[in-house]
Chain A
Amino acid sequence: AQTVTQSQPEMSVQEAETVTLSCTYDTSESDYYLFWYKQPPSRQMILVIRQEAYKQQNATENRFSVNFQKAAKSFSLKISDSQLGDAAMYFCAYRSGTSGSRLTFGEGTQLTVNP
Chain B
Amino acid sequence: GAGVSQSPRYKVAKRGQDVALRCDPISGHVSLFWYQQALGQGPEFLTYFQNEAQLDKSGLPSDRFFAERPEGSVSTLKIQRTQQEDSAVYLCASSTREAPLYEQYFGPGTRLTVT
Contact = CB atoms under 8 A, between A and B. Distances in A.
Contacts of B95: 101
- Interface magnitude class on chain A: 20 to 34
Interface of A: 4, 33, 35, 37, 42-47, 50, 52, 91, 93, 95, 100-108
Contacts, number: 57
24 contacts: A35-B101, A43-B89, A43-B108, A44-B107, A45-B91, A45-B93, A45-B106, A46-B106, A47-B103, A52-B101, A91-B43, A93-B42, A95-B101, A95-B102, A100-B48, A100-B56, A101-B48, A101-B95, A102-B33, A102-B56, A103-B33, A103-B45, A103-B104, A108-B41
Interface residues of B, number: 26
B61 interface: no
Contacts of A43: 89, 108-109, 111
Given A44-B106, A45-B93, A102-B56, 9 more contacts: A33-B101, A45-B106, A47-B103, A91-B42, A93-B42, A102-B59, A103-B43, A104-B45, A108-B42
